[in-house]
């Protein structure tokens, strides 16, 4: 009998040797972030992982090489992270802020402007030694909140996105004097939003498409403007559109809508917050021109641009007629890049869809996909189990998964590289029990894995 937390039993219906491997202390994916063409995620042990585009060192791995597989950057102690167009930030549990990547406009906040190719740094550098609670990254600017609720900014400011009353870039963190009690931050292409502890929503920067939602035709503001007076609990920004949640679970949107990213069933932009979903929404995310949200039943919904399959609905057609459900349950974290999306499920698995020309999906290829595919897979929160059958016969594998979750059994004849072929998909019943039965090919060694599927 194997550890009850991983496999309940393995039954052998034929006479053959069975080899299996698993990591009993494997860590699950807890959060995700994305830049334009790179991705980041955290595991429950506080480790930070990266993949995708790295020309400017935004992966922080001491190279400028892209990677199409997850690469561990920090082994422990990371509490949060953010991805900008070509730069990245992360916050450690000790409150220190670290940055890497493109720095032409001072967005790394290290006191320099990197004006010579590759225009940045490919190693994490500590910017603030402690007291930082959260960070956000826009196109060429960065924001962070300190433990006292103060808002700090650095980087490009051509549209006033730093909110300091000027249009001047800065390469050092600058405190926005008029802000306090800031709870959450988000950065779009050339604008920024922040949420205060009283539930009020504020914005600054570019407003060409109404993304600040203050009802004006002014195309920018270099000081924070009040958008909503109370009741806001979460915020997200795309390239030129904004989303927010209210305490009643309602979803609101404003700004550019040319691909249907606001989810109102039209392609008309709006400079006032518009109600999209009346209740039940628990999490929101925005890519460049697409949007994602999660409902309280764990279902994942999408709308907007889909030319690279970033909505994961099996097509490459923009979704302009309103939100569409992609995954029915168990989604806990979501993020959108320029043309790709990532989400984590309750079992700790990481999934991705969309453009993959730089390896940002982390699946070991550079092929895009318009269906969610598992990147880091787990069974009941543990690493994928690979089984090698050394002679002919049948095998029945019984294990405990997450009740109500669908699981697939995959096979490959070789692990260098693997070519996984789905064999069967079954839902785990009450208590998570599930049984797979398959016959290996007697002419070759077989490798098997189990993974959760939408």
Q: Is 271 helix (H, G, I), strand (E, B) or coil?
A: strand
Rounded CA gap, 165 and 181, in Å?
20
Q: Using the 8-state DSSP alphabet, how is residue 432 labeled?
A: G
Taking the complete model, does pTM exceed 0.85, yes or no?
Answer: no
Environment class of 102 (CB within 10 Å of its CB; exposed 0-12, middle 13-18, buried 19+): buried
Kind and range of the H or E element at 442?
A: none
**Each residue's pLDDT tens digit, 308-325:** 999 999 999 999 999 999
Environment class of 173 (CB within 10 Å of its CB; exposed 0-12, middle 13-18, buried 19+): buried
Share of the chain above pLDDT 70, in %: 81
Mean pLDDT of 267-284: 98
Q: What CATH topology corresponds to 9-24+383-453?
A: Immunoglobulin-like (2.60.40)
Rounded CA gap, 452 and 406, in Å?
6
CATH 2.130.10.30 residue ranges of the chain are 29-379
State the sign of the Cα–Cα–Cα–Cα dihedral 354, 336, 56, 166.
Answer: positive
Mean pLDDT of 403-413: 72
User: What pLDDT score does 421 carry?
Assistant: 78
Label residues 82-95 b or e (16+ Cβ within 10 Å = b). bbbbbbbbbbbeee
CATH architecture observed for domain 29-379 = 7 Propeller (2.130)
Q: C-alpha angle with apex 141: 138 to 147, nearest 5 degrees?
A: 90
Rounded CA gap, 237 and 320, in Å?
18
Q: Using the 8-state DSSP alphabet, how is residue 245 labeled?
A: E
404 CB-side CA count, 13 A: 8
User: What pLDDT score does 446 carry?
Assistant: 66
**Each residue's pLDDT tens digit, 387-402:** 554 444 555 555 556 6
Give one DSSP letter per residue of 133-189, joined into a string. EEEEE-SSEEEEEETTS-EEEEE--TTSTT-SSS---EEEEEE-TT--SEEEEEE-S
Least confident of 65-74, 151-160, 262-271, 397-406: 397-406
Rounded CA gap, 291 and 242, in Å?
9
CATH 2.60.40 residue ranges of the chain are 9-24+383-453
């Amino acid at each position: 009998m194997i550890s009850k937390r991983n496999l309940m039993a393995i039954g052998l219906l034929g006479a053959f040797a069975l080899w299996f491997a698993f990591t009993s202390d494997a860590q699950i994916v807890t959060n995700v972030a994305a830049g334009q063409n790179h991705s980041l995620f955290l595991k429950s042990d506080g480790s930070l992982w990266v993949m995708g585009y790295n020309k400017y060192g935004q992966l922080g791995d001491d190279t400028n090489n892209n990677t199409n597989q997850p690469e561990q950057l920090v082994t422990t102690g990371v509490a949060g992270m953010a991805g900008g167009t070509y730069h990245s930030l992360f916050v450690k549990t000790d409150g220190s802020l670290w940055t890497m990547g493109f720095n032409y406009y001072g967005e790394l906040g290290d006191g320099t402007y990197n004006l010579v190719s590759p225009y940045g740094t490919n190693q994490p550098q500590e910017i603030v030694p402690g007291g930082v609670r959260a960070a956000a990254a826009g196109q060429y600017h960065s924001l962070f909140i300190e433990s006292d609720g103060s808002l700090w900014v650095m980087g490009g400011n051509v549209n006033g996105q730093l909110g300091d009353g000027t249009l001047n870039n800065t390469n050092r963190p600058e405190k926005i004097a008029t802000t306090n009690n800031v709870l959450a931050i988000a950065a779009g292409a050339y604008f920024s939003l922040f949420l205060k502890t009283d539930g009020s929503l504020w914005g600054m920067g570019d407003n060409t498409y109404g993304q600040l939602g203050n009802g004006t035709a002014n195309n920018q503001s270099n000081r924070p403007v009040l958008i909503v007076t109370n009741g806001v609990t979460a915020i997200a920004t795309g390239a030129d559109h904004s989303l927010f949640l209210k305490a009643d679970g309602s979803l609101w949107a404003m700004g550019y809508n040319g691909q249907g990213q606001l989810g109102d069933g039209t392609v008309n932009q709006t400079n006032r917050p518009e109600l999209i979903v009346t209740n039940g929404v628990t999490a929101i995310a925005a890519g460049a021109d697409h949007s994602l949200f999660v409902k309280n039943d764990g279902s994942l919904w999408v709308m907007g641009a889909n030319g690279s399959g970033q909505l994961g609905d099996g097509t490459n057609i923009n979704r302009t007629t309103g939100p569409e459900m992609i995954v029915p349950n168990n989604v806990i974290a979501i993020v959108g890049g320029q043309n790709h999306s990532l989400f984590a499920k309750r079992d700790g698995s990481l999934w991705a869809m969309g453009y993959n020309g730089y390896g940002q999906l982390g699946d070991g290829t550079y092929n895009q996909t318009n269906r969610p595919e598992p990147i880091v897979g787990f069974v009941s929160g543990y690493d994928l189990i690979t089984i090698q059958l050394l002679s002919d016969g049948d095998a029945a594998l019984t294990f405990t998964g997450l009740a109500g979750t669908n699981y697939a059994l995959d096979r490959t004849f070789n692990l260098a590289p693997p070519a996984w072929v789905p064999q069967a998909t079954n839902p785990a019943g009450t208590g998570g029990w599930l049984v797979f039965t398959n016959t290996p090919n007697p002419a070759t060694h077989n490798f098997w894995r189990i993974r959760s599927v939408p």
